[in-house]
Amino acid sequence: MDVSTVRNIAAFGRRPANAIALALLQGDGDAEYPLRDCLEEQGEMNMSALEVGKNYYVETVTKYFCGQLAAVDFSGITLVNASWIPDTGRFNTAFLTGDFSEVEPLPADLKLFLPSGVISAVVEWKHSLPREVK
């Protein structure tokens, strides 16, 4: 498990995974396997089926986003060129045409990290990313 993943789990993970991740960061090399076991027991999503570089529509418990996947691990996903989608409009139409009713793009230089605990759905986005305010 890479250091950035462990840092994210320590910062955003639930107990006891965050405590085990902190131990790993502090030099306890034997903590990696217990950390993986703990994440699995907590039902944390292993989002290894997602591909870095592809575009995704992501639903969280409160908001919707669309962006290009820059990184993925047990702790969550990072999107670039992302937009908040306040209103999808007709869901079927949005996925057929790539057109949302409302779009609020984040500045291009920002990375959006979404912890796995808030993600409720991820769908590949087969259209160009929405980057115009609408």
Listed in order, the ranges of the chain carrying CATH 2.30.30.100 are 55-124
pLDDT at position 76 is: 86
Structure confidence by residue, pLDDT tens digits, 41-92: 776 656 667 899 999 999 999 999 999 999 987 778 999 999 999 999 999 9
Q: What DSSP letter does each residue of 30-64 carry, written as one string?
A: GGHHHHHHHHHHTT----TTS-TTSEEEEEESS-E
**Is it true that domain 55-124 has CATH number 2.30.30.100?**
yes
